[in-house]
């Protein structure tokens, strides 16, 4: 990843740094899979002698909308290349949701959150471990999905 100061300068200028693109688009694999299924279904329908029917069109619409919702919004944010910011006193929170069995060997799903001023964001673990709590910080997030991509101490 690029030098942290270079990334922070780009974010303070309201721009997404090229090294942050992967963070923005992580987790979009299932959406891309839905889009591929939509395209394959459309191609098969075009070359098929059978009518897709109402249910076929409904399934195609679900695949398209789901794929665009999951993968399209982050891709649009990369194309726009802008970030927004908020600043304030910072606290961290971790929430562990246990699975059905609460035995000592089972692990639940971990949700990392950061509270900055009056706003609360879910964050990836990679971002969470870099945050310095108990001070004024500036968080940079994407404008559509509100994904936090960087948190730095607020410059006085």
Q: Tell me, yes or no, whether 7 lies in a domain.
A: no
Q: Whose CA is closest to 119, among 145, 87, 96?
A: 87
Q: Token pair 């001070």 is at which residue?
A: 135
Instruction: Give the per-residue pLDDT at 3.
Output: 81
Q: How far is CA 1 from CA 5, 60, 68, in A?
A: 11, 39, 28
Whether residues 118 and 70 fall in one domain: no
* CATH number of the domain bearing residue 115: 2.40.50
Number of domains, the chain: 2
152 beta partners: 138
Give dist(CA 13, CA 68) in Å, integer: 28
Q: Token pair 């929170």 is at which residue?
A: 93
The overall pTM is greater than 0.95: no
Q: Which tens digit of pLDDT belongs to each residue from 104-126?
A: 555 678 889 999 999 999 998 98
Across the range 19-43, mean pLDDT stands at: 88
Q: Whose CA is closest to 63, among 41, 43, 34?
A: 34
**Chosen domain end from 37, 61, 80:** 80
């Amino acid at each position: 990843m690029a030098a942290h100061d270079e990334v922070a300068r780009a974010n303070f200028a309201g721009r997404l740094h090229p090294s942050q693109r992967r963070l923005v688009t992580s987790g979009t694999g299932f959406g891309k899979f839905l889009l591929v299924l939509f395209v394959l279904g459309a191609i098969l329908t075009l070359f098929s002698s059978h009518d897709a029917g109402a249910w076929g069109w409904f399934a195609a619409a679900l695949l398209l909308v789901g794929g665009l919702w999951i993968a399209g919004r982050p891709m649009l944010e990369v194309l726009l290349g802008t970030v927004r910011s908020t600043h304030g006193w910072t606290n961290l929170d971790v929430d562990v949701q246990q699975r059905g069995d609460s035995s000592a060997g089972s692990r639940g799903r971990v949700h990392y959150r950061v509270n900055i001023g009056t706003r609360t964001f879910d964050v990836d673990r990679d971002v969470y471990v870099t945050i310095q709590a108990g001070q004024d910080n500036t968080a940079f997030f994407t404008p559509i999905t509100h994904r936090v991509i960087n948190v730095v101490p607020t410059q006085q």
